[in-house]
Structure 1
Amino acid sequence: MMTARLGLPARILLRGGAGLIASLVLLASMAGCSLWGAAPPKPVPADLGPNFAVLGVRQVWGTRIGKVGIPLDVHVNGSAVTLASSDGSVVSVDAGTGVELWRASIGEPLSAGVGSDGRFAAVVTRANLLTVIEGGREKWRQPLPAQAFTSPLVAGGRVFVLSSDRSVSAYDASSGRRLWIQQRPGEPLVLRQAGVLFAVGDTLVVGLSGRLVGMNPNGGSVLWELPLASARGTNDVERLVELVGRTSRVGDSVCARAFQATVGCVNISLRSVVWTQPASGFEGVHGDDLALFGTESNGVLNAWSRSSGSRMWTVDRFKHRKLTAPLLLGRSVVFGDDAGLVHLVSRDDGAPLNRLSTDGSGIAAAPVVAADTLVVVTHNGSVFGFRPE
């Protein structure tokens, strides 16, 4: 029977009764549309004006990996960055030189990638197959209970997976043997977007609905739960609440965003929520011990105090541009937009420092830094390395 839900964003999926993804709802874009008439005109971003480069930055290398239309996590291990394309190419690049260290082809489209510990790299195919690569060669594949849009976590000789049915599973990185799986009931809608999955010491930290959940990596038992947002509203769309990557960790402080709901920080040692603030974004956050930075769904850039959550500054010159999650890099906050531009602004007040051009296809993932090089990936599959002059 066809669902009567209208106006669902393309980022949202409807789960079937068996806990598997039943269908991709394509009834609306993030901007919204009307079933009864033409969609309202898309707001036009303001002209950014000339670029006055306060901070000198130059491109030092470039390469290609294939088009990127999946939730991509560019993974950094030392000077190596590992990336994946939608068609199943997985590539490791030396960030200092741009030279490929290895390249592998999975042979089928991906739904999420990529996680790596420097030895093993893991991706998930659209056919729900967890695939692990070692040294550029495929090592093993294992079926998953549902689709996955969050890059696997490779740590401690294991591969951890957060699936769209809100199950968390662990596999032996060498053999592919499943070690455990834990699942909890959830709302019928999930995001077709990367969630939260990382390690803090000997604890696996997972975003489940609006909560940060600490799990024992050896068996999956829950150690603690800290809520950053709660379900609200009267229907499934309004009640949808998920944590989205990237996150910001400084010592025992972990900060994250709940999709279109809040931004907040917790203390995982004290197992307490430090603060939350209303925020309407769908990309993750980044920061240091003093400040936290995030981009909102309308293109506004915000800075919050890490300790209190109070607003430090807001910049709206990028309004109506689709922005990536930010990267705090020295004195700069770095993020990309859907026009293929990379923006560097001052961490102190958001003032522009520089603007870098790529191939114009839009930035596909949050920027990363490795070997003193800023690495940026576009939707057309171009990879750029930038360095200060």
Structure 2
Amino acid sequence: MITLWQSRTARSTSSSRNRALTAGLGLAALMLLAGCASKGESAYTPKELTSFNETSTLESEWRQSVGDGLGRARYPIAPAREGNTVFAADADGIVMAMNADTGERSWRIDLETPISSALTAIAGDVYLGTRNGEIIALSQRDGSVRWRSRVSSEVLAAPQANQQLLLVQSVDGQIIALDRQSGEERWAYTSSQPALTLRGTGTPMVIDPVTFAGLANGRLVTLDNRSGQPLWEMQVATPRGTSEVERLVDLAGQPTLSPDGRLFVTSYNGRLVAVEATRGGLLWESNLSSRSTPVLIGNTLFVTTDESVVVALDASSGQELWRNSDLEDRWLTSPAFVDGRLVFGDFEGYVHLLDATSGEIVGRTRVHRSGISVPPVTDGNTIHVLANNGRLETLEVRP
């Protein structure tokens, strides 16, 4: 299996969806893949920022330096917050806990192993995955290691927890359930992997009885958390085209579950679908390609497409409510929601605020020119943003 990393400096094919691909294979391999995917090439050209009517400001409250950042490979090590503590890490193994109001550091540890996944903070613990296929549980109180557990391969997706289990999706297509208290493996589910995949995996959506997981082969599977057996599966995206690049259909985001049992799933080179969570019945579909996790606020679903176009849809019908193309090709992060607004980071290190009702840009600031590639973490009107160089900045939205 060959995987492709994302890059903001790579040349693209004439299909804008293929702009998301990079070379973890070297320049010659990338040129070969691009040639297979398209008859011609066009330069990667993100939109320039333009003036807008600023009705919201982003005021810096504090900043901290978290190790050396996300590394040259831009590992997706998004921070996490629980209560009044923010947890963040770098690619070399540094993990830190900070007071969310002041930025004062509570503790800092060096795991001496390369971290590769986003962090998950829940019920007094912090969970993370490593490049060598290890899952580590830390105490939120002092950063001490509670347990370590080995899985089948590198972990890029944040581990996801219910009351008893920690669910891990590794890059080789396995989904592993670990006991949250001990790290002992309870079961594992293995999926078939295509010859070529995006560099990354979907993140499972976990509730007490079941786990919803998107796979690199374009399928969505629902697993019984008691045994790991599949309850139902559906093909969200179907491979098309003649080359392996054109046939990429990864479900690289996390499924979003509504309180009334609707599941919203994005796919690369495929579609956005809404399905019944209990049986997998299709409710509606939209022809949007996305590697990002959608955000559901009330009955509105917000999606960042692979071209960094922001789209709002009616969650009941899939009808498009608005779209904003002002930030096209700026490699936006997945959206987060803050006090009536959507917030994104981009490849030049800007943080953008969009009004959730109209889709208009209402605020902007720059955190660091190294860029932002992991989603912001929000709480009330507070935003925590981790730049690629390790700068963690906390912003307050005003008014």
Alignment of 1:134-173 (within 5 A): 134-135=139-140, 136-173=143-180
Secondary structure in 2 matching 1:72: coil
Answer yes or no: is the 8 Å Cα contact 1:254–1:265 preserved in 2.
Answer: yes
Q: Structure 2: how far apart are the matches of 1:29 and 1:376?
A: 31
Answer yes or no: is the 8 Å Cα contact 2:58–2:364 preserved in 1.
Answer: no
Q: Which is strand-richer, 1 or 2?
A: 1
Give the TM-score, by structure 1 length. 0.85
Deviation at 1:123, TM superposition (A): 1.9
Counterpart residue identity of residue 93, structure 1: M
What residue number does 1:81 align with?
86
What residue number does 1:41 align with?
43
Question: 1:176-232 deviations in whole A, cap 9, x for unaligned?
Answer: 222221213232223222412121242222112323322122221112224422233
Secondary structure in 2 matching 1:112: coil
What residue number does 1:336 align with?
345
Secondary structure in 2 matching 1:321: coil
Answer yes or no: is the 8 Å Cα contact 2:120–2:126 preserved in 1.
Answer: yes
Give the TM-score, by structure 2 length. 0.83
1:292 to 1:87, Cα distance in 2 relative to 1, 3 A:
same
1:117 to 1:306, Cα distance in 2 relative to 1, 3 A:
same
Q: Structure 2: how far apart are the matches of 1:60 and 1:215?
A: 42
Deviation at 1:101, TM superposition (A): 3.6
Of the candidates 197, 203, 207, which is equivalent to residue 200 of structure 1? 207
Q: Structure 2: how far apart are the matches of 1:225 and 1:103?
A: 42
Q: Structure 2: how far apart are the matches of 1:100 and 1:218?
A: 39
Secondary structure in 1 matching 2:245: helix
320-329 or 172-181, which deviates more: 172-181
Answer yes or no: is the 8 Å Cα contact 1:108–1:125 preserved in 2.
Answer: yes
Q: Structure 2: how far apart are the matches of 1:216 and 1:352?
A: 42
Alignment of 1:123-272 (within 5 A): 123-135=128-140, 136-208=143-215, 209-251=217-259, 252-269=261-278, 271-272=280-281
Q: Structure 2: how far apart are the matches of 1:191 and 1:290?
A: 31
Deviation at 1:156, TM superposition (A): 2.0
Structure 1: unaligned runs, 5 residues or longer: 13-22
Of the candidates 270, 285, 290, which is equivalent to residue 281 of structure 1? 290
Deviation at 1:381, TM superposition (A): 0.9
Alignment of 1:85-100 (within 5 A): 85-100=90-105
Number of corresponding residues = 370
Of the candidates 5, 13, 19, which is equivalent to residue 10 of structure 1? 5
What residue number does 2:16 align with?
none
Structure 2: unaligned runs, 5 residues or longer: 8-22
Counterpart residue identity of residue 133, structure 1: L
> Aligned residues: percent identity?
25
What residue number does 1:107 align with?
112
Q: Structure 2: how far apart are the matches of 1:9 and 1:350?
A: 32
Counterpart residue identity of residue 308, structure 1: S
Counterpart residue identity of residue 54, structure 1: T
Q: Structure 1: how far apart are the matches of 2:102 and 2:234?
A: 42
Q: Structure 2: how far apart are the matches of 1:332 and 1:113?
A: 23
1:91 to 1:249, Cα distance in 2 relative to 1, 3 A:
farther
Secondary structure in 2 matching 1:224: strand
Q: Structure 1: how far apart are the matches of 2:254 and 2:205?
A: 10
